[in-house]
Homo-oligomer: A and B are copies of this chain.
Amino acid sequence: MSSNENKNPPDSAVYFRLFTEIGIINQLASNRAERAMPHGLTMSQFGVLNHFSRGLPPKPPLELANAFQVTKGAMTNTLKQLEGKGFVDIVPHENDKRSKVVSISKKGRAAHQDAQIELAKQFADFSEAFSIEEISAQLPALEKLRIWLDENRA
C-alpha cells in the first residue's frame, strides 16, 4: 500500500506538527534574538532579567529554576553571571538560612531596556511583515497552551 497518496495521518500527527512548528519558530527566533543581545547577555540571563522586569517580585534561585524549567545547577550558573555583571542582587533569605532571594538591580533594568531596544531592531522586518492585529490574534491560544503545559508538567 503506497503511502504517497491520500494520506490519512493519525490524530497524533496534528499534535506532533504543532510542536514541530513551535520548535522551529523558537529555534529561528532564538537565533535572531541571541545575536541582538547586548552586554554579553545569553538568552538564559535575559530571561531572568525579563522575568523581574515584568514586575514579578524577588524570589529564590530554586523558584527561578522551576519557572524556567532548568536545573538548580544551571540557575546557579546563570545567576553567577548576572551577579558578576551587577544585574541582579542576591541576598540571604530572611527566615531560611539555606536560601537566597534574587532581585533585579537598577543596572539590570537598564540592561534589560537596552536588550529590548536591540531586539526591536533585530525584529523590525518581522514587525513589518506581521501586523499587531495578526499577532495579537494568536496570543490567547498560545497562552492557553502554555498555561496548560505549565500546570500539567509530566
Contact = CB atoms under 8 A, between A and B. Distances in A.
Interface stretch (A25-33, A73-81, A86-94, A102-110): A25-33
Interface string A8-33: 00011011111111111111111111
A146 interface: yes
A68 to B, nearest CB: 7
Interface in A24-81: 24-33, 35, 50, 55, 68-69
Interface string A127-150: 111111111111101110110111
Interface of A: 2-4, 11-12, 14-33, 35, 50, 55, 68-69, 116, 119-120, 122-123, 125-139, 141-143, 145-146, 148-150, 152-154
